Structure 1
């Protein structure tokens, strides 16, 4: 009897074990992780921009060019500005084909440079005008200019003539009739105050403010020295004068490159209403955008 009970108990344990095993769920086979596609690099996501290089003097030309970078980028162009501190190298690098364009000069200077250096650089757009001004140095009153006063002027052909004509317009000297844009201090025919004309490379004129009675500065170098022609000049070329047309600053390229698409895009950006508003707001009359 005990033997029968023992067999029944073993049978019940076995049945329970089988039932418990039947209640367990089978685990689903694990899936192998899917390989992710490699992320694109920024260079792969971005359309490559075509580069435009422009040589410019620092103020205001390089500053102005900075304002059109974004608009050019939206048209597929990257603008690289190469800054020079003189009036010679920007033309030489364009003539050599090292840089696409330059922006720093007016046409009389360009004409004279081409003639003297046998270069073939041409203007493609009139951008802005910077009035030439007479600024105080050791003296600050043109109406009571001291006898023998020293006045520093740019020594390049066209800008020296421009400075002398401005001095003449203010009754300080008289220049030989017909000398025009070729005038030098040797063309002064009347000098009642015995003014000494100190000829210096244009970029150096502002550095002698404390050594001469007055200085005659190009607009860009005046700005670079912290002057504003509208508020600091004792006399200046007026906006409606012939000088405003003759001495307007121009964008230039080597002859034969005038019709390049990137140059056309640059011109369009420099003629935009947004650009003109920047000029008006930033320079307050020291730089005037041209139509």
Structure 2
């Protein structure tokens, strides 16, 4: 009888041990293929970065729209805010309303920084808009009569740009000891045709030039290509003279200095300088807008 009880007791103990062993095996199987806690901690998820950028409608916003899906593939959402003037995009960049802007050329940006104390930097040059001279009365600069009135805008950087262009065309001569981009009418030392220029205070804003041209004002008028294109005017076909591509007036991406090294900004510039975007610019505007690669 004692032997029977001992045998039964031993059997019960063995069953309990077997049950415990079976439970451990079950737990191990359930955890197979599951990541360890430290693996979960090292997993990284790709987050979309948003860049809010201010731009003039043509060609800047058009170019940005083309780049938008390319940037989306790289995790960057581009939000484009369009502006009709040259003042608000820099004010909004300074206040943080936008992260970058794309509407201005280098001399204008430098002038705005000097005048307003903006802590901005040029993140990269994207394209050139050759400025053109237009006339409803004459078909070439050579036809301009003595005393012809040339209308140029009140933009300080544009005035130097246009005077330098007229010097290149042989119509005037500027002082040799000045920076051409900062030239004023007072810096003209030779003016064989006695060309007439209004003072800065009397001159129109850049956005008014197309209307004045359509109304036949002046003998010739210098118009920025973005305004001409936006109004359906072809700089290549309709201008009587157009600026060459060897110019410092490259349109740039401007950002606050603190953001210049952000990867998203660098990627934006890289995409805008890519062959795909450069080919688009060339095909879309056929020389009226010229891409740059540096």
TM-score with structure 2 setting the length: 0.77
Query: Does 1:187 find its partner at 2:165?
Result: no
Q: Is contact 1:138–1:212 with CA below 8 Å preserved after alignment?
A: no
**1:122: how far off?**
0.4
Q: Which residue of 2 aligns with 1:43?
A: none
Shift of 1:89: 1.3
Structure-1 separation of matches of 2:177 and 2:158: 16
- Contact 1:137 1:215 (8 Å CA) reproduced: no
1:125 corresponds in structure 2 to 124
Q: Which has the higher helix share?
A: 2
Give how far 1:250 is off: 0.8
Deviations 1:53-74 (A, max 9, x none): 1111111111111101111222
- SS of equivalent to 1:249: strand
Kept in 2, the 8 Å contact 1:279–1:287? The answer is yes
- CA-CA distance at 1:48 after TM superposition: 7.7
Cα distance, 1:228 vs structure 2: 2.4
Mark the structure with the bigger radius of gyration: 1
Match of 2:261 in 1: 259
- Are 1:79 and 2:78 counterparts? yes
Partner of 1:8: none
> Which among 223, 243, 249 is matched to residue 247 of structure 1?
249
2:288 aligned with 1:286, yes or no?
yes
The structure 2 residue matched to 1:221, chosen from 227, 231, 236, is: 227
Q: How far 1:165 sits from its partner (Å)? A: 1.1
Superposition pairs of residues 157-196 of structure 1, within 5 angstroms:
157-179=156-178, 180-196=180-196
SS of the residue corresponding to residue 196 of structure 1 reads coil
| CA deviation profile, 1:116-135 (whole Å, cap 9, x unmatched) | 11111101111111112211
Aligned twin of 1:22: none
Alignment gaps of 5+ in structure 2: 1-45
1:153 & 1:190 partners in 2: Cα distance?
A: 18
Whether the 8 Å contact between 1:140 and 1:213 is mirrored in structure 2 is no
1:205: Cα distance to partner?
1.5
Quote the residue 1:236 is aligned against: 242
Corresponding residue of 1:11 = none
Note if contact 2:61-2:82 (Cα within 8 Å) is conserved in structure 1. Answer: yes
5+ residue gaps, structure 1 = 1-46
Match of 1:61 in 2: 60
Partner of 1:35: none
Query: C-alpha displacement at 1:264, in angstroms?
Result: 2.1
| TM superposition score normalised by structure 1 | 0.78
Runs of 4+ in 1 over 4 A off after TM superposition: none
